Structure 1
Amino acid sequence: MEKDKGPLLVLLGPTAVGKTALSLEIAKSWNAEIISGDSMQVYRGMDIGTAKIKQSEMDGVPHHMIDICDPAQPFSAAEFQDRARAAISDIHSRGKLPFIVGGTGLYVESLCYQYQFADIGSDETFRQRQEQYAEEHGSVALHAKLEEIDPEAAERLHPNDQRRIVRALEVYHLTGETFSSQQANQKRESPYELLLLGLTMDRAELYRRIEKRIDVMLEEGLVGEVERLLGMDAPPHTVPMQALGYKEIAAYLRGEMSYEAAVERLKRDTRRFAKRQLSWFRHMKDIHWIDAGENFHNNLIRIHAIIAGKFQGHLEYKSNQSFF
């Protein structure tokens, strides 16, 4: 391990693949603190729809980058990068292992590598025109505009992710360069001694887990959570109203579709989102892929061996040595 680089452990994977349960076992074994790599879990009050871990479930493992801003407050990948890097430095200073867990590709990748978010500026008039276009023609039509000029970015962004779609269109409008081409020119050198673990799963089983998770979210009160957010009078284009799970239920609450249609759309869009997550991660290099559909205990053994091979000389390994 390079002496001037601190260690950074990362666990990636699509929604509902089982990151939370596995991350807690890994964190307890390696004296780690978890930094959420989920772009929606930064918002207070967005708990059920983001599958945010409860305080009672953390099992003593510190978690960072959760509940740090209000839903109406803008929060960018650049801000996430700044605040997460500060958290990493703090964790290092206390002799612990920083551990990124999440599924928002841009957020995690920008943190792992030395991404520079250029100050391209903005064009508020252009931005408002795109938002108006989405209101009149729908999010899919706005997504199609991006697909015409930047198919790679369109593949990675869900049609509901209106804020990032508008920004990608705005970047092209201001610079003449696509968002994906600018990302491709970013340095791929990490400021950390980086270890990337990725969870994957048979597609049919993942989709079954996604649908079951959504059923549980609804039982736990997702509709009420969205209703409370709507009560805050947030404009339709703000993050909470465009987020997966919130946009669909909000449409039902506004009388734009039936409850059954909203749930079916949510399940469909979440399946598509998971597919996009995997597509993003497949572009990243040096990921150790783990089949999360395999035996949990056996996967832990394999993961502990991978981590030990990378970090054993730097950090005290605390797992039961009988694993090996």
Structure 2
Amino acid sequence: MLVGPTAVGKTELSLSVAEKFGCEIISGDSMQVYRGMDIGTAKLPPEERRGIPHHLIDVRDPKEPFSAADFQEACTAAIRDIHGRGRLPFIVGGTGLYVESVCYGYRFQSYGSDEAFRERMSAFAREHGSQALHDRLAEVDPPSARKLHPNDERRIIRALEIYELTGRPLSDLQSQERGDDKTSPYRLCLIGLTMDRAELYRRIDARVDKMLEQGLVKEVSRLLEEGVPRGAVSMQALGYKEIAAYLAGELDYEAAVTLLKRDTRHFAKRQLSWFRHMRDLQWVEAGEGRKNSDLFKEICAIIAGKFPFDLEYICS
């Protein structure tokens, strides 16, 4: 598995690793599952995948929800299929809960829903602001509040909804789902890419600029015209919610772009925080002028130390 924050350079390295080890790649990105959401999710076009099979990309309509439990089920099935054909499953992505749920077999539960409660919380946020909503979560579930940015209204409301329905904080329930020992049904090789924070943030800003040049505004506009509601899970993705606000006249273009860059930087920070708590993860330092060929050799050495491969052959 190869994880790391957005824009750190996972995609190119993953292709090289997959070619060397005979892998099939499973996307560990919560939004690449949606069809028609290509630019904003940095989805690698099929013609650039070097003939390597990719799984869990373009498998859902953007009007439909997709959860960590859905990912766990689909990813587990993909792993069985790939392994059954004598190939190696290779999860690549940045959605921490999704990939960790597969690694350690989380036991997800259904807590139900309360649409009226969600509407009340949305109205509360509109009247009092997102920070006030976040403060409300901090009162009943401090650990969840620390993990969520005040602008992440959808997840904050869901955490409050679960507390309303169960009387227990989401953080406690998630701890129970994960279990204390975090044992895995798999033989894992977990590798994380990281780099200097300032350099990562420059890369994030450049990626956002490139997405806008590629037509992100048109992509979001098309999705809305096709009837994807702004409240859909898919439209909460970075890039889509900010541009949707611009198209609705709630933000001017410059403000939307500034917000998108800021929120993406915050998201990368949360990704790094999540992955740093993952057991058995071995970090590879990217950036600072390091060539992909050097990173590739370092990753190969980690893999060879975990599995019975010929290191001299692999790194040649």
Q: TM-score range by the shorter chain?
A: over 0.9
Aligned Cα root-mean-square deviation (Å): 1.9
Identity of aligned residues (%): 63
Conserved 8 A contact 1:227-1:250: yes
* TM-score for both structures, normalised by structure 1: 0.90
Count of matched residue pairs: 311
Aligned residue identity for 2:212 = L
Displacement of 1:301 in angstroms is 1.1
Q: Specify the alignment match of 2:96 in structure 1.
A: 105
Whole-Å Cα distance in 2 between the matches of residues 180 and 119 of structure 1?
A: 15
1:156 is aligned, of 147, 151, 160, to 147
Conserved 8 A contact 1:160-1:243: no
Query: Alpha-carbon deviations, 1:239-289, whole Å to 9, x = none?
Result: 233221111111111111211111111111110110011111112111100
Conserved 8 A contact 1:84-1:111: yes
Pairing 1:65–2:56 present: yes
Conserved 8 A contact 2:224-2:230: no
Q: Specify the alignment match of 1:310 in structure 2.
A: 306
* TM-score for both structures, normalised by structure 2: 0.92
Q: Specify the alignment match of 2:274 in structure 1.
A: 280
Moved more, 129-138 or 169-178: 129-138
Q: Specify the alignment match of 1:74 in structure 2.
A: 65
Q: Secondary structure at the match of 1:289?
A: strand
CA change 1:157–1:247 in 2 (3 A) is: same
CA change 1:322–1:230 in 2 (3 A) is: closer
Moved more, 235-244 or 11-20: 235-244
Mark the runs of 5 or more structure 1 residues left unpaired by the alignment. 1-9
Q: Specify the alignment match of 1:192 in structure 2.
A: 186
CA change 1:36–1:117 in 2 (3 A) is: same
1:208 is aligned, of 202, 217, 226, to 202
CA change 1:213–1:252 in 2 (3 A) is: same
Q: Specify the alignment match of 1:7 in structure 2.
A: none
CA change 1:270–1:234 in 2 (3 A) is: same
Q: Specify the alignment match of 2:212 in structure 1.
A: 218
Conserved 8 A contact 1:112-1:192: yes
Aligned residue identity for 2:261 = K
Aligned residue identity for 1:106 = L
2:221 is aligned, of 217, 227, 231, to 227
Displacement of 1:65 in angstroms is 0.5
CA change 1:301–1:295 in 2 (3 A) is: same
Aligned residue identity for 2:315 = F
Q: Secondary structure at the match of 1:312?
A: coil
Query: Alpha-carbon deviations, 1:211-264, whole Å to 9, x = none?
Result: 000010000000000111121333332123322111111111111121111111
Pairing 1:129–2:144 present: no
Moved more, 283-292 or 202-211: 283-292
Q: Specify the alignment match of 2:265 in structure 1.
A: 271
Query: Alpha-carbon deviations, 1:109-134, whole Å to 9, x = none?
Result: 11111200113222232223223334
1:11 is aligned, of 2, 20, 42, to 2
2:160 is aligned, of 169, 172, 175, to 169
Mark the runs of 5 or more structure 2 residues left unpaired by the alignment. none
